[in-house]
Structure 1
Amino acid sequence: MTKVESLEQVVRHLGGLWDTQRAVTALRDAGHGAGEQRQQEKRARWALRKLAVAGLLVKVQDRPVQYRATEK
């Protein structure tokens, strides 16, 4: 399963607000925790943006970036 697919599954299950740290934790729990913290955060932000483009997340705040799940 890719990082985006793993994060999508968790977002659909949990819903709510998502930021970089929550995404990093979810990806780490799904087995995508390899690498240094900065790389993990970069990958998590990328996955969040992909889910926003797909319509699963909506950006609700710019700095710090936060997204809200559109469906559960």
Structure 2
Amino acid sequence: MTRAQLTQWQVLFKAVRALGGTWDTQRTVTALRDAALLHFLAQEGLIVRIDPSRATYRVAKRRPS
């Protein structure tokens, strides 16, 4: 399953599993917002995913024209 195909539930499930700790609505909204933002930046070519099993990115060497 690619990142684009993940549902909000799946994104949240992965975040809770990876980060643990206490979760409230604010932390939940933040996790979903951040996941969407990272996905958007990757689609635009500003960042590239460096680990297919984690949401780990680095800045792209150059921005596409």
TM norm structure 2: 0.43
Q: Determine which structure has greater relative contact order: mean sequence separation of CA pairs < 8 Å that are 6+ residues apart, divided by chain length.
A: 1
Larger radius of gyration: 2
TM norm structure 1: 0.41
